[in-house]
Structure 1
Amino acid sequence: MTFLPDSFRNRLALLFVGLALLVGLPTYLYLDHVYAARLIRDRGEALRDLASAVAAVLGENLRERQREIELLAQTPLYRRAPLDSPDFQASLERVQESYPQYSWIGLADPQGTVRAATGKLLVGKSVAQRPWFINGLQGSFFGDLHEALLLSKLLPQAEGQGPVRFIDFASPVFDESGRVRGVLASHAHWRWAAEVVQVMTPHDAESNALDVFIVNQDNVVIYPEGQEKALLAPDKAAFNSRAYSTGGWGDGVSYLSATAQVREIIPGQHLGWRIVVRQPTARTLADVRDLQRVVLLALVGATALFLVLAWWSASRFSRPLERLAALAHRIEAGDEKTRLEVTDAPQEIRGLAAALQDMADALLSHQEALAQSNAQLEEKVSERTAALAQANAELHQLARRDALTSLANRFAANERLQDEFLRMRRHGGSYGLLMLDIDFFKRINDTLGHAGGDEVLRHVAATLRTLVRESDFIARVGGEEFMVLLPESSLADAARVGEKIRAGIAASQPPIDRQVTVSVGVALATPEQEDMDLAVRQADTQLYRAKEAGRNRVAGGPQSAA
């Protein structure tokens, strides 16, 4: 170190400056590179999460609108009433009142003539060439965003200012025999997209320059309105390798962007919409730049302060500190027997040396004890964690699984019933419920013993698994009684499944030399029911009817109810 000034004061001052730079500059560089990159990554993932949430809500909203049209088309009025019935007009007006974003709802006959519509708009007009009618004859249809110049001229002035854009929802209307008797369609005003996005957009989006866009399959922004030609969103390929991307949007500004795909509303009809969320990269890194300025100012201030303190204290503490430092370096090098003793130093330095010696002794002792304690603690934690995980897994399995048939038990059935009932009350729809009982099971037990009865129970459980959908739920809820829950099913659907199960078990090859049959009770749970056990009791009642009617039959379907 011959290049440094000879005086200790100067050397100590330069040392403090070096220490300040050694601490401050890596911090500054860390903020400029590592922390900035981490902030970009975290913010990109946050934008990805926001885009996913908006996409999920938008997709669910679209699905709800499509489901409304499908359910309306399945009501008795639309299946049975003459197409010239005035009841259609009142029905359509009620639906529009419940969801004002429906700018137009109409019913067209199979030839494409509008027979009823909200506001009587287009009644008597032909829509045979409209995509929603052509596709609606074939099945449920969800149309992409488009302008409706003809309809916009007929709408009230408040809606008709400028080009009006709609999304089409259509569903065929069938009569009782399954023939198409028309197409029910609605045009939803595109302004609902703004409402969905505004609800999901954070309250501080404007202050953070955060933008949310809806992009179609042609990579063109379709929301907000008026941005179609002003901005082109980043291509999908920019997001293939990670959840976010950085780059320009053609306006000379670098953005941090994230995207999420809007799920299919109807299987096979893929619109290719995406939600893209962006924020200027400069705004994302604004906090980093501010922190860098604070660190730089703190570094300069600390350096100046260190210079003053070093200059003042160097002459007083130079020799004792140098000796104390030399002894400390010996301990650092591994000579733990060295004692920090400075006899010719001021009282404060001697006290510091004694304190450092005590601290070194305590640290060495604590280090050994801590290492041993950590090893023992880690071993105990590992053993107890593994035992607890195994016990929890076994307890969960035992509490919800029937040991004989490996089906769900009564406890698991009650949990599933509650979940399905709450889902139905929240989203609408219905679900079917089947209660099954093995016919003359007591005779089987009396003749073949409980071992034979157990074989029959396992056989029936295995056969049931092959006769229902993967989404259906099967449980053994009693000795020879089983329950089957059919989500998103009508009463007719449930009756068909019940007959399928009855016939399948009757035709199966049981492990005994006699035929095994079941009686089935059918019930339907609907949102109007206040008690989730009502459908269970109804299915049990129908099961007793099937037993009383001779067994090996299904009771409770539409024909039975009639």
Structure 2
Amino acid sequence: MPGGSSFSRCRQGVMSTVNLTPFSRRAARRLNLRTLILSLCLLTVLLTLAISLYASYTVQRQLLIQTTLEANRVYASKLAESTNLFMTSAIDRLSYSAHRLSGQLHNAGQLQDVVDRIRLDSNRFNSTIIVAADGEILAYSPQKVYPAGQHVASPESLAALRQRALYISEPFTAPSGRLIIFIAQPIITADGQYQGYVAGTIYLQEHNALDTLLGEHPYKDGSNLYVVDEQGRLIYHSQSQRVGEYVERNPVVSELIQGNSGSQQVNNTQGTSMLAGFAMVPTTRWGIVAQRPMASVTSELNHLMFVTVRNALPLLLVALLLIGWLTRLITRPLHQLAQVAHHLDDQQALHHTNNVRDWYAEAGQLKRAMQTGLRMMQHKIDRLSQESLTDPLTGLVNRRGLEQVLAQWSQNQQRFTLIMLDIDHFKRVNDAFGHDVGDLVLCYIADQLRQHSRAEDICCRCGGEEFMMLLPDVSAEQALAVAERLRLQVAGQNSPAGQPVTLSLGLAQFPETATAVVPLLKQVDLALYAAKHAGRNQTMAAQPAP
């Protein structure tokens, strides 16, 4: 590039003016190069150590968080399954008893025996009761003397009578002040007559099988467990005094109220950062939350990082002493290499490193490393330059690369034929199959261009569904034959969209059609437009310049 050559000459001029004069050499001697190197090495070591520790801490912390979240989610899910099995078992026990009681409500002694056995069996219920269809209390456990003919009056008991089907109440506060769940199973005779119900109550703030199930938490690391109902009220908590409290503002509880399960890092209603896993109990729509304080998760990691830093400090001191000793030996060649490093943009930088006297191994390694780096840098610059001229989707030359080739060929008066092609109705492909399939179709057309071109031909994607081929030193007839082979090949086989696509092509020659690039592009564009206007799926050649 002309600009690039002038820039290189400018850089060479600057390089020639910065050669060390006697005055600059005296100024350099006044600098304590050993101190500068030591400071740089110290900063590098400390930064590397800090970055390594920070990266390690961040990765380990995130891994611990993810592991804890998943463990709590799995634990909450297991507890939800166990609680669901418990509730199902309790319902089945009541259902069995209701079936046995069908037609047997006249025997008071048998009724008392049934409610006692239900209550004492596996400690599922804190109390049990049998109620007749008219609401009269027939039996109660633990045994309690009721006046003859006394009827139930609580809203939950009356709701069970009205429902005449399995009834599971929301947690409610009984007149005794207990937070209770009421489960009733209807007693129905063989001929379908409703006789009442047998029911059990679970006292959420007292000991029972459900309390045992939820209270046995295997983790002793500050983790805790709680259960909420559909309104976000605590119905179980390790701190029993909190049972009955509404915590619906907790983000995890909000997710449970919406019926979701999963895991989440959250600040609870008391402002503590927690790692929570949560799951729903299907039979009751309760939400179970297993959580662990964030502080307990990171405390062990913080201690490990402290021990790591403490153990690294002696090694760091030894390394700095060694660096100080080596600095005395490498000052001179390092100074020479530093002069080269100040002018890495000089095209002669690689040549200048050859003049450095690497009279000891370390200087030689640094010298070779710099030479390798210079070569790699030049290679990367060349690669980046190549990438800037390539379409990332298809791997063809992009518009910028096309412009460079056209400018160079027209300047050299290179005779060539330009084929511009466009995929017919490409928008329909994107609309019908999606842009991912559209991209596959573009890559498919690019492959077809490669198959129908020679090594010296240039294939490019100008943008969207528009492509070009530059064919040097071919006649109009030969170029037309190439275009037609390409068109027929594409139209005759299925594309990645599962059906053929067609191409419209325009053809123009340099210098026959036009003697400059801009008119040439205009003419080939007009030829392409003519092909589309004539019905698409055909090739049109531009008219030669008069």
Instruction: Calculate the TM-score normalised by the size of structure 1.
Output: 0.48
From the CA coordinates, give the structure whose radius of gyration is larger: 2
Instruction: Calculate the TM-score normalised by the size of structure 2.
Output: 0.50
